[in-house]
Amino acid sequence: MKIFVIMKRTFDTEEKIVINNGKISEDGAEFIINPYDEYAIEEAIQLKDKHGGEVTVVTIGNEDSEKELRTALAMGADKAVLINIEDDIEDGDQFTTASVLGEYFKGQEYDIILGGNVAIDGGSGQVGPRLAEALQINYVTTITKLDINGNTAVIGRDVEGDSEVVEASLPLLVTAQQGLNEPRYPSLPGIMKAKKKPLDELELDDLDIDEDDVAAKTKTLEIYLPPQKAAGKVLSGELNDQVKELVKLLQTEAKVI
């Protein structure tokens, strides 16, 4: 089985993020595999273990993304591909990413493509569906269960507190949601093996892509951090007195009643 994972390198949103001149400063920032993409990588490895084949992880970015690709290889992926657009495109968007990936996959044989439901730095959830549309293949988003039998996939999704079962034929693209699996940590032997696994680097010229054809369709006007929350108040005294004080504060300070 030919299994691919589309992966994104993202800021670790649990770390402190600094904004300089309307952009997120990369100096000292921590980068990780997008957490939802970790579910996709884990599911891809489990599919390989069950059905055979190979897992290839693909990302778009620059040479800094090699660290996250090596982590995916250490988890158990077989190959990695970096499409380096640093010298060609300064500011891309979801259209850019999906278009470049679309050209890459047009030259590949694949049974299933997995990705994360959303990226935690952008949260648009557009790249997977856009890529599937470009390749004209079936796609199912936010999956929490995946079983493949021959050329058919049976997929579970969480829907409004209930579950939905979808059946689709391969080739297929799916995006992973929390609950699909529990991503493994790279083992020491896995880390050592990852150093010898193939990691190919491509540029737009290798894919015969004109940068104007994949230029961003959207523009970010401003990036800013949310305002700091004001400190809360702790009311003391008898319960009746606390209620009176709370009502007074809601009227005079919060002005919600």
Domain boundaries, the chain: 2-214, 230-257
Q: pTM here?
A: 0.85
Residue 24 pLDDT > 90, yes or no?
no
Q: What is the mean pLDDT of the chain?
A: 90
For 6-20, 95-109, 121-135, which range has the lowest pLDDT when averaged over its residues?
Answer: 6-20
Give the model's pLDDT for residue 152: 95
- Which pLDDT band, with edges at 50, 70 and 90, does 89 fall under? confident
Tell me what percent of the residues of the chain surpass a pLDDT of 70.
100
Average pLDDT over residues 144-159: 93
Give the model's pLDDT for residue 32: 92
Measured between alpha carbons, how far is 143 from 234 in angstroms, rounded to an integer? 43
Give the model's pLDDT for residue 166: 93
Give the model's pLDDT for residue 252: 87
- Which pLDDT band, with edges at 50, 70 and 90, does 233 fall under? confident
- Distances from the Cα of 222 to the Cα of 25, 118, 218, angstroms: 14, 21, 12
For 8-17, 156-165, 185-194, which range has the lowest pLDDT when averaged over its residues?
Answer: 8-17
Measured between alpha carbons, how far is 187 from 159 in angstroms, rounded to an integer? 35
Average pLDDT over residues 145-172: 92
Give the model's pLDDT for residue 161: 80
What tokens does 123 get? 């949260």
Q: What is the fold, at CATH topology level, of the domain defined by 2-214?
A: Rossmann fold (3.40.50)
Nearest alpha carbon to residue 114 among 10, 36, 6, 8: 6
- Which pLDDT band, with edges at 50, 70 and 90, does 160 fall under? confident
Which of 16-27 are b and which e, b meaning 16 or more Cβ less than 10 Å from the residue's Cβ?
eeeeeeeeeeee
Measured between alpha carbons, how far is 44 from 46 in angstroms, rounded to an integer? 5
Average pLDDT over residues 68-90: 93
What tokens does 31 get? 């980068």
For 5-14, 58-67, 222-231, which range has the lowest pLDDT when averaged over its residues?
Answer: 222-231
Residue 155 pLDDT > 80, yes or no?
yes
Give the model's pLDDT for residue 88: 84
Q: Position 21: which residue type?
A: N
